[in-house]
Amino acid sequence: MKIVLCCAGGFSTTMLMDSMKNTVKNSAKLDEKDFEFVAIPVDILQSEVETCDVLVIGPQIAHKLDYIKPIIEPYNIPYVIVDQDTYGKMDGATVLKKALVERKKADMKK
């Protein structure tokens, strides 16, 4: 599963991505080989969209949803907008859980 974290291009999203990677690594149920994480600025989302399974949107670009939706909707990519509190705590476990739930919901709609 490829999870793309989309932000304004800052360092903090890479920190959140690392927290998500650590969650997978330390999990008894999840396998690192099943996950790929990429952190990108929103400006290059188009180049990653074809291989994206779930999009994680940082709170600092939540206002760009009108720009993001037309890019991801043709591919039926589910997305999660991370709230400020979760982002501030760099709570990768919560973000990963939300991403997995959204992917599962999307799969059930097929």
Go through the domains of the chain in sequence order and give each one's CATH number. Answer: 2-102 (3.40.50.2300)
Query: Active-site residue among 5, 6, 7, 77?
Result: 7
* CB of 78 closer than 8 Å to CB of 7: no
Rounded distance between C-alpha atoms, residue 66 and residue 97, angstroms: 24
Mean pLDDT estimate for the chain: 94
Q: Is 7 a catalytic residue?
A: yes
The confidence score (pLDDT) of residue 110 equals 74
Rounded distance between C-alpha atoms, residue 16 and residue 14, angstroms: 5
pLDDT, tens only, 47-89 = 999 999 999 999 999 999 999 999 999 999 999 999 999 999 9
* b/e 7-18 (16+ beta carbons within 10 angstroms → b): beeeeebeebbe
Q: Beta-strand (E) ranges in 8-103? A: 36-41, 54-57, 79-81
